[in-house]
Amino acid sequence: MAQQAYMTETDNGGSGPERRGNRIRRLMNRVTSRLVTGWRGDPRIWRRGLVLTGIAVVVALIMLLHAQIPNVVGNLGSLVETFLPWLGLGVPVLLLLALWRRSATALIAVLLPAIVWLNLFGGLLSDKAGTGGDLTVATHNVNADNPDPSGTARDVAASGADIVALEELTTSAVPVYERALESTYRYHSVQGTVGLWSKYPMAGVRTVDIKLGWTRAMRATVTTPRGPVAVYVAHLPSVRVKLEAGFTARQRDKSADALGEAIADEKVAKVVLLGDLNGTMNDRSLNAVTAQLRSTQGAVGSGFGFSWPASFPMARIDQILVRGMEPESSWTLPETGSDHLPVAARVNLATAS
């Protein structure tokens, strides 16, 4: 009887994991069979899913022609450009819906936004970081309401950066940051709500007028072993999304233009801009700045390098931009007590970009 029971169990497909594996294979075979059968010989596969087809084409056109979307109403163009990479999430959704509708037309149309997205952002999916470089810089919007400024300062210093820029400094928190960073950075200057800490001597420190009425930008010449570098620190005004006004960024755009003018007048050949620009490299409103400088993230980063908000980063608004030097690597640092992530980069001063 025992032998008979054993033979019966074996004939039923084995026991334990083996039986579960057989069930999964049978289920997959049935699903595949139904999918193929549902498509085969059905002339409606070309007529179904026309709405999905239209949506796929519109998504592709938005990504392809984003620079043509006007900013007249609610700065809509800049809003789209700020979150442009996220439009790629529509591709798998449209793909699943096209499969569910069994629409060959929609499936083909989904290729359009997929190709456009890969052309715009596919290069960010690979790690282009190099191993060289002779200067490491970092920037962090520390958040005026940061509950642990001392810990935040130590975290940023632990990055090994030679130069650190901090934004959104408050009068009460400045002494805390100064004490936490003094053992690592011999030279520093705080101007308004922005500050610069350096392991190398600083000179020519001055504020930069970005048309706000108070100081949120500064400039200094840092004398590195490879020669002088003009370092700018800036915290451009915040942007807001309001139901009655859309994406409001007029003050940010005005400040960006003023910052671009200051950088254009810079006499030092090597320039680094560190700061919270409240905009991405795709945002046309930052053209006065981005047309002159090169983004370290786009050149040598790994991934999108989103820096805000820290709890679930959705956009890269904290930037490190350079001129007259070659970016080697770029990365985000671990979360601190701020609502932004710190970002860092390593550059090669001996090679002009």
Tens digit of pLDDT per residue, the chain (353 long)? 444 444 444 445 555 667 777 787 777 776 566 555 556 667 788 888 999 999 999 999 999 999 899 877 777 888 899 899 999 999 999 999 998 888 999 999 999 999 999 999 988 887 666 677 899 999 999 999 999 999 999 999 999 999 999 999 999 999 999 999 999 999 999 999 999 999 999 999 999 999 999 999 999 999 999 999 999 999 999 876 554 444 567 888 899 999 999 999 999 999 999 999 999 999 998 999 999 999 998 666 668 899 999 999 999 999 999 999 999 999 999 999 999 999 999 999 986 55
CATH dotted code for 135-348: 3.60.10.10
Q: What local confidence, expressed as pLDDT, does residue 1 receive? A: 47
| pTM of this structure | 0.82
Relative to beta strand 163-167, strand 187-191 is: unpaired
Omega within 30 of 0 (cis) for the link into 327: no
All CATH 3.60.10.10 domain ranges in the chain, comma separated: 135-348
Rounded Cα distance between 237 and 165, Å, is 17
List the structure tokens of 251. Answer: 């003050």
CB 331 within 8 A of CB 129: yes
Tell me the C-alpha distance between 268 and 82, whole Å. 31
Give the pLDDT of residue 186: 97
- What are the backbone angles phi and psi of residue 88, rounded to the nearest 5°? -65, -20
Rounded Cα distance, 293 and 287, in Å: 10
**E strand or H helix that includes residue 273:** strand 271-276
With helix as H, strand as E and coil as C, how does 175-193 read? HHHHHHHCCCCCEEEEECC
Cα angle value 68/295/219 (rounded, 5°): 110
Q: Identify whether the C-beta of residue 348 lies closer than 8 Å to the C-beta of residue 339.
A: no
Residue partners of 31: CB distance under 8 A and separation at least 6:
none
Record the tokens describing residue 315, joined without a space: 């956009």
199: exposed, middle or buried (C-beta count within 10 Å: 0-12, 13-18, 19+)? middle
Cβ(166)–Cβ(181) under 8 Å? no
Q: Which residue has the tokens 């239209």?
A: 54
Comparing C-alpha atoms, which of 340, 342, 316 is closest to residue 154? 342
CB 66 within 8 A of CB 84: yes
Alpha-carbon Rg for the chain, nearest whole angstrom, is: 27
User: Burial letters for 37-49: b for 16+ Cβ neighbours within 10 Å, e otherwise?
Assistant: eeeeeeeebeebb
One DSSP character per residue, 13-32 reads: T-STHHHHHHHHHHHHHHHH
**204 contacts 227 by C-beta, under 8 angstroms:** no
Please enumerate in sequence order all residues whose Cβ is within 8 A of that of 148, keeping only pairs 6 or more positions apart, or say none. 336, 337
Closest CA to 280 of 79, 60, 59, 121: 79
Report CA torsion sign: 167, 168, 171, 174.
negative
Tell me how far apart the alpha carbons of residues 147 and 159 are, in angstroms, rounded to a whole number: 20
Which pLDDT score, from 0 to 100, does residue 289 have? 97
What integer pLDDT is reported at residue 17 of this predicted model?
A: 67
